[in-house]
A = this chain, B = another copy of it.
Amino acid sequence: MVKKAAAIKEVLTTSYKGVRDFYPEDMYFEKYMFAAMRHTAENFGYVEYGASILEPAELYQAKTGEEIVNEQTYTFTDRGGREVTLRPEMTPTVARMIAAKRRELSFPLRWYSIPNLFRYEQPQRGRLREHFQLNLDIFGVESERADIEVVSVAYQLLKNLGAEDADFEIKISDRNLLNYFWDSISLPISKRRKIEKIIDKKAKMPDEEFRKNIEAEAGKRAAKIIEALDSGHAFMEAIGSAESPEIAKRLINIVDGLSKLGVTNVIFCPTLVRGFDYYSGFIFEIFDKDPSNSRSLFGGGRYDNLLKIFGAELVPAVGFGVGDVTLLDFLSTHKLLPEYRSSTFLCLAVLDDEYEFADILAEKIRDSGVSVAIDYSEKSIGDKIKKASTDKIPYFAVIGSTEVKSRTIKVKKLEDRSETSFPINEAGLHALTDYIFKI
């Protein structure tokens, strides 16, 4: 009985498998990444939008790769009999929103969002059942200036987070190059998507398994495909005869444009495949150069035809997503995370029941923008100081009858234990604010 009760309690304190609890320190790093995402996106003129995680299931049945709808989504029937899906990605949602108001909206649009997304899969490094993702897109610009811009926003986000060019690599290609290759080896249309999905997962399986999977789908053409993938040269030769010059020119323009903006860690990777069916041209992924993080950090590209599903006229679109789980792994691997600090600046410990005085004083200090927590506990002063240190609150002061009588507050800087006194009056509290903000 006792054992059973303990087991129940343990179940109850455990979160759902594959999702995270964000204790204040975890939340600090989430907020740090989100702030950099918002700052970078807005700096480039993107405005934030949002939507519910609940979407009608039809939205995904209409457009995304079948794998997503059939094997990996959280889809259920609500109490009114409607099929609902927890969004596995944001692109269908933003396409739906834009299609719904396409007559009122004035293009081009630069939009971003930081949604949480859901996939039912085995949790593993870099991959959870719920993650957050910055999604950033330009709608209404056909030219490669937009492709250049979204890549440079991605680049700038990493730079703003402290990364060096050598820490990451931007792989680019065009979704149609692969089609030219399939044409050159006369691969039946019906086989193409399946083989592309295998190629997309190449990095995640042993070479032998990869060869077997390709053979199972491509039969006698497997050797040719594997050779072409192993050697970019063989690949280019194979498609060289096809009519790809326009795509090549556009890719060169993109590499040139990026280089002029100082973005030079760009590699042309003809076998790049993106997981979703809707990509229609330029595609890119950004990888950590550290081998411990093998999943792509960023993934994106052009999806000019997606809005047609909603009956909207063609709206050129290009964008990317970057997830919090892989980004946090990247920042942690490269030691780019800041130290945790509390959002509270000052802890006031109350002595001698001087609660009223402390409350009113705290209110005055808060008015000047300094965040103040009052420790109402019965702990000793020593323990209160210890707690404030553990909580990473930088300043500490006592309010007791001595302070009330002398109308003086002595502020201790917990980092070095130095103390500074301030009279409790208007000028004194001004001086205290200045002192604290000069951290």
Contacts and interface: CB of A to CB of B under 8 A. Distances in A.
A5 B58 CA distance: 13
A132 B378 CA distance: 35
Contact of A23 (B19, B82, B101, B373): B101
Nearest to A148: B359
Contacts of A124: none
A165 B191 CA distance: 69
Contact of A17 (B30, B82, B366, B387): B82
B49 A23 contact: yes
Contacts of A380: none
A78 interface: yes
A309 B12 CA distance: 9
Interface string A319-357: 000000000000000000000001110010000000110
Contacts of A58: 8, 11-12
Interface stretch (A138-146, A226-234, A240-248): A138-146
A292 interface: no
8 contacts: A8-B62, A11-B56, A17-B80, A22-B49, A22-B51, A23-B101, A45-B347, A146-B376
Given A145-B355, A310-B9, A16 B52 contact: yes
A377 B138 CA distance: 11
A285 to B, nearest CB: 23
Interface residues of A, number: 96
Nearest to A372: B45
Interface of A: 5-6, 8-9, 11-17, 19-24, 26-27, 30-31, 42-56, 58-59, 62, 74, 76-80, 82, 84, 96-97, 99-101, 106-108, 110-111, 116, 118, 120, 129-130, 140-141, 143, 145-146, 148-149, 257, 260-261, 309-311, 342-344, 347, 355-356, 359-360, 363, 366, 369, 371-377, 387, 390-391
A100 B10 CA distance: 8
B47 A14 contact: no
The quantity of this chain's copies bound in the complex is 2
Nearest to A309: B12
Given A13-B96, A310-B13, A48 B23 contact: no
B107 A377 contact: yes
A331 B46 CA distance: 26
Given A107-B377, A260-B356, 5 more contacts: A13-B100, A17-B80, A21-B49, A27-B50, A47-B343
A78 B141 CA distance: 40
**Which residue of A82, A111, A344 has the most chain B CB atoms within 10 A of its CB atom?**
A344
